[in-house]
Chain A
Amino acid sequence: AQSVAQPEDQVNVAEGNPLTVKCTYSVSGNPYLFWYVQYPNRGLQFLLKYITGDNLVKGSYGFEAEFNKSQTSFHLKKPSALVSDSALYFCAVRDLSSGQAGTALIFGKGTTLSVSS
């Protein structure tokens, strides 16, 4: 069965420092991977996705993510964190070979990013 793990409930970084939010996945076939961000009392906003090709994916607001097939990981990164990046981050996967009827995403439980000034 498909699954996504976000091993850290919370990540704390200082403004200006690089940040990494970790995600590992488990699928039976080739994964399609997504990152979303959720601000308080708002819906999920799309950041980036990996479909195929270059393992380094660039997304919105200066975020990027690196796909690593051997480690089944898709970590979210940003070279220099901003206080405004503080939010809840979700990793999600879609597996074409899962046999599921639809194209719904399977989400991790989320990681709270806190950036201090």
Chain B
Amino acid sequence: EAGVAQSPRYKIIEKRQSVAFWCNPISGHATLYWYQQILGQGPKLLIQFQNNGVVDDSQLPKDRFSAERLKGVDSTLKIQPAKLEDSAVYLCASSLNSVSTDTQYFGPGTRLTVL
């Protein structure tokens, strides 16, 4: 079974530029998460989708971050404009459903460096 795919793996941009990350979840997984992992910290949720609907985006900085999952499969996370503090690893995860006992499976992440 293929895992969660993410691209690109690495991205370097200058502040105020825009950037987009892509995620393709495990086939058949209805729930998709984006997490931000800053160096030295655990991952923190940015947004959760159930199919193509948003379940929780309470911690998404909506003035600069946006995400979509238009067809309920793959997803894109965008930052515009980027700030220095956005330097982090962006992890995508998926689970079968939004059942609380479901295991989340993570992709390899995209490491973003903002200069």
Contacts and interface: CB of A to CB of B under 8 A. Distances in A.
A108 B42 contact: yes
Contacts, number: 70
A22 interface: no
A40 to B, nearest CB: 11
Interface residues of B, number: 31
B55 A101 contact: yes
B44 interface: yes
Contacts of B35: 104
Interface in B73-114: 91, 93, 95, 98-109, 111
A105 B42 CA distance: 10
B56 interface: yes
Interface string B1-36: 000101000000000000000000000000101010
Interface in B30-87: 31, 33, 35, 40-45, 48, 55-56, 58
5 contacts: A34-B103, A43-B108, A43-B109, A46-B106, A104-B48
A102 B95 CA distance: 12
Interface stretch (A12-20, A64-72, A73-81, A88-96): A88-96
Interface residues on A, range: 20 to 34
Interface of A: 4, 32, 34, 36, 41-46, 49, 51, 90, 92, 94, 96, 100-105, 107-110
Contacts of B101: 32, 49, 51
Interface of B: 4, 6, 31, 33, 35, 40-45, 48, 55-56, 58, 91, 93, 95, 98-109, 111
B56 A100 contact: yes
A85 to B, nearest CB: 19
A88 B59 CA distance: 25
A102 B108 contact: no
A52 to B, nearest CB: 9
Given A46-B104, A46-B106, A94-B100, 10 more contacts: A42-B108, A43-B4, A43-B91, A44-B106, A45-B106, A46-B105, A49-B101, A102-B48, A103-B95, A103-B98
